[in-house]
Structures are given as structure tokens and as C-alpha cells.
Structure 1
Amino acid sequence: MTNLKTSFHASWCGLSLMLGLAFALHTQSLAEEVSTSLQNSDGSQYKAKAYYPKFSWEKTPQYFMFGDTQRTLTPEEVKSIAARTDFLCIEKSHGMKELGAAELGAKHEAAVFKKLKPGTKVLFYFNSAYAYPFTSYAKDLTRSKIDQRPDLKKFLLIDPKTGELAHRRNVFQFDVLNPEFRTWWVNTVAKGVAETGCDGAFIDQMHGFSWLRPNQVKEVRSAMGEMMAALKKKMGPDKILLANNAHQRAGVEVLPVVDANMFEHYDAKLLTKEMLLKDWNDMLKISKAGKMSIFRIGVEYVSSQDPKAEKPKRGPARTAKMAALAKEQLEYFHACYLIGAQPYSYFQYGWGWTLSDGSLHEFPSLQKPLGAPKGAYTRVKKDGWEFTREFERASVWVDTEKKQAKITWK
């Protein structure tokens, strides 16, 4: 009996050792898989922060940003968007007519998305330059009410040519050099994030209208950086701060203090072969700093390169036209994103910022299995404009001079 027990004990120990070794090898394999998937294109390791959204190369990572002034989303619309992303921003005027204020629209949608898909990261929108009156916090920043609010009026820029309040289509402009404004702005945005239950903020416009004060450009940029750093601190350590075009020169003081940067291609000049190459290099720098990137393509800018071309009015005809153009241009711009994509780089594609401008339009190729990149892009010729890159499930080729591309799915 003693020999039998000893034999059984030895067999059990051997089996346990084998199972433990197999589990260790499996764990190591998973760790190596995660490590590889979060590797920058230069071979360095990406260091994600705990409060970032979950990232995967399983299919093209997408970021969404949308709004509808009139209403909130239907359940079907929520499901459609949630099926394609877990990282999004509720635009500046969403749900205002239905609920009374834009922050209520953001609060409503944040709760809906998080209930349907826990782990979804939702951002609250606010502008650092234009005084949009869509939230209850800024509702008095209008021509009819501003004179009754001297406490807010002093935060606004004066047009040096007219001596009147500066504006763009009756939207006033903030004066970032006013320290009282910066304090109000930081407190207001942080309050919006807290009250909406959002996971951080998307901040639009990093320029601070520096061109209106050419002798104070450095001061404006420094003030913008200071304001963003203060917001990051005020929101709390686990909130995401995404800045629009902070990689451009105007945001030189902003980029170091934010978590993420949007490459918004708001003009055809930003889509030249030279600018796209710069974008790819900047995306790597941003990734090496442990930050996120949004590579946003607006098809509306592609369609407006001819200044004499008639701009179609909003409606079914425009939607159909833009959807057709988006489908036609997708492979090229998708390839442009993939050539420079890093861990935590997201693709945003559409033809505007409203709900009807592409957020509900599905592009099947963006749902195809992609897999992690196998390395950095290759420039076919030293001074040429053809680039290639390999992913686990796709081969990408693009010519940014001829604006041609081919994605071969494996």
C-alpha cells in the first residue's frame, strides 16, 4: 500500500509539474502576444495608461465623434456605433433641443453606451477658442444675453479692427490670455466631465487666436499649455484629455500635457504627400510618449478642393453624394492611416461632425480582420512616395503622390 501511495504521489507531482509548465508557457505566450501587439513601429514598447480604452488590432481601431442638436440616439443607432468602437466623443450640441442643454445630451449617451458596452470611454466636448452657447454653463454667451453678463463678457476677445466683440458667424471668441477666463474655463470643463459621467474631454482649437496678437504668440501658446495642464489636474488622474491638432505648431505647449492628439485634416493642404509623411512620424513620436492618436479624415474637405464648386446643402441628396465619395476614397485614406498607425492609434472617417455625416454609415472593410503590424512601413524608393506595410491579415501599399492605394486582405 505504501508503494502504491508513493507511486500515485509521484505521478500526481509529475502531472502537476507538466500542467504548471504548460500554463506558464501559455501565459508567457499570451504576454508575448500582448507585448508584440503594443509594440511601436520602431520596436520600442508602448506603455498604455490604466484609464485608456481597451486597444486591439483585431480590426481597424475606430474612434467616433458625432452629435445631433435636435435629439439623442435611438437604441438601434447606439448598437450600430457600439459594435464598431468603444472610444467616442459626444459633439458640442448633441441632444440640446430634446433635453435642454448639451451636457445633458452627453450625460444621456454616456450612460447608454456604458450600460450596453461596459468599458466604453466617452468624452465630453468643449471648445477652448469659440464660445459655443450649447451647454447650460455657456448659455449666456450670445448676442442677446452677453450684455447682462459682464462677468462672462470680460472673457471675450475684442476685434482690433472694429472695437466690437470678435466673432465667427455670431459665435464669440475666448481670450486665453485672461487668467480669470482660464480659471473659469478649467472649472467649467471639469464640471462638465464630472456631471456627465464622461471619461474625460475632447478639447477643440489649440491656437488661442494667436494671429490676432502677432506680438504675443509665445504668451498665447504658453497660456494654452497652462490651461490644458490645469484642466488635466482638475479632472483627476484617471480622466482622458484629448486635444485637437496639438501636434501642430500652435499646440507646442499643449501636446506634452495631454493624453491624446487628433490629427484633424480640415484642409486639403494637410493631405499632401509631405504632410502625410510628417503625420506618420508624429504618430510614432506621440506613441513613444505613451499617448494616443486619432487620424481623422473628413471627406467633406476632399470634396471641397475646388473653391468654385457648388457646396450641396444638407439633406438626403448631400448624404448620398458624400457617402458615395467616402466609399470611393476609403481604400486610399484607410491605407494612409495604416501606414502610420501605432498602438492606440485610431481611425475616424466621415464627412462632418453631425450624426448624419457618416457615424451611422458602415464600411465593411473597416470590420475585416487586420491583426497587428509586423513592423514599420517601408519606403519603396529613398526619395519616392510609395510606401508599404505588412499586417498579420493585410498587405498595404500606397502612393501618396498619385493618391492611389491597395489593401490586400489575407
Structure 2
Amino acid sequence: MTISNSRCIQTIALLPLLMLLTDSIGARGMCFDEFVISGDNLYPSNQPDGKRIVLVPGKTETWKQCQSACVNGTTRCHSWTLFFENATQGLANNCYLRTDDYWNPQFVHGQKHLTVASGVNCKSPPATALPNAPPPNVQFSWDHVPVFIHTSNTTGPFNDQALQIMAKFPIVTIEKYQGPNSGYHYPAEKWVCCEEDRIVDTLKSVKKINPNITGIFYYNMVLDYPQYRLHENFAKNESWWLHDQFGNVVKVGINAGAHNTKDLLVYDTTQEAVSELFMHACLDLVPSGAVDGCFVDRPVDGLPHQNMTTDMSVNLMASHVTTLQAFQEQLKRGPLIANHGYGMPGVNAAMIEVFRPTEEDIMLLQWTADRGKLVEAHMVGGDCTTDEGIQDHLAAFLIGAGNYSYFGCGPWFTSTSIDSQWKASYDKPLGAPLGRPSKTKSVYTRKFASGTTVHFDCSTNKGTIDWAKSPEMKQYADDLIY
């Protein structure tokens, strides 16, 4: 593919007005380094700032078809995409990327659902092409599978046995449902403050066992959960609440699974005072010694859209990005885990909330890790209670993992034992990877310093892990031979 007088554009620019671009753009040589993703479909896009919009419904190019288009330069993929106009410096080189099947469009224009997502595929620029946040100050080792735990106990404090298990994980995140009456199975009006204290107390208990763990505080950037002290401060000033184009207070609810929420307020982070309030809800916990970093849910998706103009939605999204960038500056090398914020510049960590054993998710993990980010890959599907049940996911993870990549599975909250959270596989020898994975036909292979070898077949989404013998078992085998 020949590109003349062109450069690869990685910035996202959002236009407040939507226009339809057709094939009149032509299939001339284009840099396809940027694409947008909806579901499993991948769509490149390349237009100058101020004109970067593609709104072509009805197209069905698949991931592989668009990869071929990218390589051969013979066709152009299309998409429904909404971009920011006049991207600010804070949004420069910003990329959002989601590939899971549960994509929720961020904006709705009339009856057309519009997604905001971007990433880099073939002809990927080096990691330095995107602004990097400082590397996270966390434990990381290839000696064994790098893992994390993200959970909470809806019945009260974890018992000693559970704390011992949690203390084995280098990263421990406590979710919003820690303690009774914290929101699980209760209507919002019965939730009890203050979740901040319950999370801090839990992390302190884990750190008494292992002071080297990284403690992570969870909260949501959209939903004002009433069990937090943050809610008590936020609710005092109605001018801080998000309002729609008619001046009405925006309220959001979730009625899915165990969630039973309705009429929750939304943070209007376009206001500096609200942005500061949100940041300090976590930052002020760091001096406790229990909290080393923060997990921010819904930073790039799940934004309210009812009765919101495109400009209002765009500004809210932009304020999320700039808030988290300022947040990271104050947190310094503490991990700031932005859920789905895979390419967000100036933020040093992200979670793949729905990590599946697929080539697409392997690529997403590699792409994010190559940008120097801490990546939590949270397994969904399979059976998280057994080593056999996680094998395909774990194999996919090990194929794509980089430095600061961590694997995890299990529910966000529990009322029973967490014994199954720690797997025998996590104790087996791994060692640093001996290079990038290789691929023969549909099978990826990656070897590790211990002798462990991992295979993953993209045609079946099945993986195998040939674990190296532990030093003790190797010595035992050598003794038998001699």
C-alpha cells in the first residue's frame, strides 16, 4: 500500500454535527492505522480533524475482511463513528478500543446508535507514538502467572481464611458491595454509608498479612452510588448534578442481575469542582496506607444519552479523559485502572472486563500492553472454579500478555467462600516469555523461560499449557534417572 503526503492519524476528533460520507471518498491509498470497532467488526478511518466522521449504516465487514483491506489497500471499511471536533491537546493521540460482544453505544442520535472507539491494528505504531503515563508502582513477576483479584463480600468483613487467599494476589481491588446493606439485593434508599471505610478496612486487613500487595479502591465515574461518602458530599449541591438539554436532572438506573439501582445521580465532570470532588474521593484515601491506586468504572462507556445533545455528550466524554489525566498526575505512579480505557493517554492502567479466549482479545491485550499500560484481563465465560475451566482463557492471556499484564476471574461480589479464586495453575513455574508469540496457520505458540509452552488455536478458541516441572519435581525426576 502506498501512502503519499500522508501521516498516520491517531487522534480522535468528535463532530457535533453528523454528516454522511459515502464511497466518494474513494479507495485511494490511505493509512489504516486507526480503526473503530463495534462488536467483532473492525473499521478503519482516516480523515483530517474537523472532517473525521463516517456514518455508513448497513455495512458488515468482519474483523478479518478489514484486516485484509488494511494490508492490501484495495478496499475501504466503513462504520458508524462519532468523533470529537477540534480535539484538545488533552485528547490528542487518544484511542478507545472495545472488542467484546457487550458493546453499549455511548451516544444515540435519533434512532441511530453511534459508537466511539479507536485502536491500531496492522501497521501499528510503536508504543512511544502514544503519550505514556508513568509506569505503575506495583509488584510484577513472570516467575508465575501474574494475577489479580477484584471482589467484595456482601455479608460483612472477609474471614481470616479469605484474607489469606487475597493476600496471595499482588493486586487486590475491593468492589462497591463490601459489607451488608452496601447495595447488593437492597433498594438504593436502604444502602448504608460509607463504602470508603469498608474498602479501606478490608485492604488494611489484607496488608497486615502481605504489606506488599497493591490495594485498589473501586468507584464509578458515572453512577453516584449512595453507599459512598462521595454521594453525601455530591448530593449537597444540585448544580453539580448532570442536567439534560431541558434542564432536568439526569438519573440513571440499572436493573440487571443482582444490581437493583434506580434514579442514581450522575457526576457532571465538565465542572472543575465536580472533577476535583471525584478525584479526591480516592486520592484522599491514599494517606491511609491501604489504598495505592484507584479503579474507575465507566470512564469511556455507559454514559447517559437520554435528552442529551451531541455537544453535551461529547463534552462529558472529554471531561472524563481530562479528569483522569489530572487524576493520574496527582496519583503519580499509583495505578489508575480505567475500565475499557485501553488507549487513553496519560493514564497508566486499564481493565479488559470481558476477556474471552479469542484472537481479537489476544490482540487487544497485546495492543494495550504494548502501550506500557498495566492491563487487567478479567475472564468471562468458562468455569472460574477449576483449573480446567480457565485453561482456554489463561492460554489466550499468556499468548498476549506483556509486562504489567494480570489475569483474573471470579465474581465482583460474593457471599460465600473465595477458596476457588486461587488456582493450582498460579503456583506453577512460568518464567519470562522468550519473545513474542509465533503463529502457524491458526495456532499461536509462545515459550517461557521455565520451559512452559503455551498453544492457542484461533480456529477453535482452545488453548493448551504444557507446564514446566517445578524445580522440586525436576530434581525428583533427575534423581530417578540417575
* TM-score when normalising by structure 2: 0.59
- Indicate whether 1:77 and 2:162 are aligned: yes
Question: Displacement, 1:118?
Answer: 2.2
Q: Which amino acid aligns with 1:370?
A: L
Question: Contact 2:149 / 2:408 at 8 angstroms: preserved in 1?
Answer: yes
For 1:90, the aligned partner's letter is I
Q: Report deviation, 1:172.
A: 3.0
The CA distance in 2 between the partners of 1:345 and 1:161, in whole Å, is 44
Aligned partner of 1:283 in structure 2 is 368
Counterpart among 341, 345, 348 of residue 259 in structure 1: 348
Cα distance, 1:298 vs structure 2: 2.5
Q: Does 2:404 align with 1:347?
A: no
Task: Describe the shift of the 1:162–1:256 C-alpha distance in structure 2 as closer, same or farther (beyond 3 A).
Answer: closer
Counterparts of 2:164 and 2:137 in 1: how far apart (Å)?
Answer: 22
2:430 counterpart SS class? coil
Q: 1:49-69 CA distances to partner (integer Å, 9 max, x unpaired)?
A: 686222111111111111123
Matched, 1:174 2:270: no
Pick from 233, 240, 249 the counterpart of residue 155 of structure 1.
240
**What does residue range 252-331 of structure 1 map to in structure 2 within 5 Å?**
255-265=344-354, 271=356, 273=358, 275-287=360-372, 291-299=373-381, 327-331=387-391
State the distance in 2 between where 1:109 and 1:164 align. Answer: 35
1:400 maps onto 2:458 in alignment: yes
Q: Deviation of residue 136 (structure 1)?
A: 2.1
Instruction: Provide the C-alpha distance between the structure 2 equivalents of 1:294 and 1:358, rounded to a whole number of angstroms.
Output: 23
Which secondary structure does the structure 2 equivalent of 1:137 belong to? helix
Structure 2 distance, partners of 1:43, 1:183, is: 30
User: What is the match of residue 373 of structure 1?
Assistant: 433
| AA aligned opposite 2:242 | L
Q: How does 1:5-404 map to 2 (within 5 A)?
A: 52-83=137-168, 85-95=169-179, 97=181, 101-139=194-232, 149=236, 151=237, 153-158=238-243, 163=248, 165-168=250-253, 169-170=261-262, 171-195=264-288, 197-207=290-300, 209=303, 211-212=305-306, 213=308, 215-216=310-311, 217-235=313-331, 237-247=332-342, 255-265=344-354, 271=356, 273=358, 275-287=360-372, 291-299=373-381, 327-350=387-410, 352-356=411-415, 359-361=418-420, 362-381=422-441, 385-392=442-449, 393-404=451-462
User: Which SS does the other structure have where 1:65 is aligned?
Assistant: strand
Note closer, same or farther for the CA distance 1:125–1:87 as it changes in structure 2 (3 Å cut): same
Letter in 1 for 2:142: W
Q: Which runs of 5+ in 1 are unaligned?
A: 1-41, 303-321
Aligned to 1:22: none
SS at match of 1:60: coil
Instruction: Indicate if the aligned counterparts of 2:268 and 2:316 stay in contact, CA closer than 8 A.
Output: no
Give the Å deviation of 1:159. 5.9
Q: Which segment is superposed worse, 274-283 or 386-395?
A: 274-283
Shift in Å at residue 241 of structure 1?
A: 1.5
Q: In structure 2, the residue corresponding to 1:221 is in which secondary structure?
A: helix
Distance 1:160 1:353, change over 3 A: farther
User: Residue 285 of structure 1: CA displacement?
Assistant: 2.1
Residue matched to 1:15: none
Residues 406/93 of structure 1: CA separation in 2 closer, same or farther (3 Å cut): same
CA displacement 1:169-204 (0-9 Å, x = unmatched): 313332333333212212323223345731121111
CA 1:347–1:273 in 2, change beyond 3 Å: closer, same or farther? closer
SS of aligned partner of 1:347: strand
One-letter amino acid of the structure 1 residue matched with residue 400 of structure 2? G
Aligned-partner Cα distance in 2 for 1:399–1:156: 49
Deviations 1:115-167 (A, max 9, x none): 211221101112111111222232477xxxx5xx3x0x333334679955321
Aligned pair count? 318
Give the number of the structure whose residues are more often helix, by fraction. 1
Asked if structure 1 preserves the Cα contact closer than 8 Å seen for 2:362 and 2:399, the reply is: no
Range that drifts further, 186-195 or 130-139: 186-195
Deviation at 1:82, TM superposition (A): 1.4
- Corresponding letter in the other structure for 2:284: K
Letter in 2 for 1:55: F
The alpha-carbon distance between structure 1 residues 163 and 50, as it changes in their structure 2 partners (threshold 3 A), is: closer
Partners of 2:416 and 2:436 in 1: how far apart?
32
How many angstroms apart in 2 are the aligned matches of 1:263 and 1:154?
A: 34
Structure 1 residues 176 and 64, CA, compared in 2 at 3 Å: closer, same or farther?
same
Whether contact under 8 Å (2:140, 2:146) holds in the other structure is: yes
Q: 1:183 is aligned with what amino acid?
A: E
For residues 416 and 318 of structure 2, the distance between their equivalents in structure 1, rounded to whole angstroms, comes to 35
Structure 1 letter corresponding to 2:319: A
Give distance in 2, aligned partners of 1:100 and 1:176. 23
Q: For the pair shown, which has the larger CA radius of gyration, 1 or 2? A: 1
Instruction: Give the Cα separation in 1 of the matches to 2:322 and 2:135.
Output: 24
In 1: Cα distance, 2:127 partner to 2:283 partner? 37
The 1-side partners of 2:417 and 2:401 are apart by 22
State the TM-score, normalized to the length of structure 1: 0.68
- Name the structure 2 match of 1:16: none
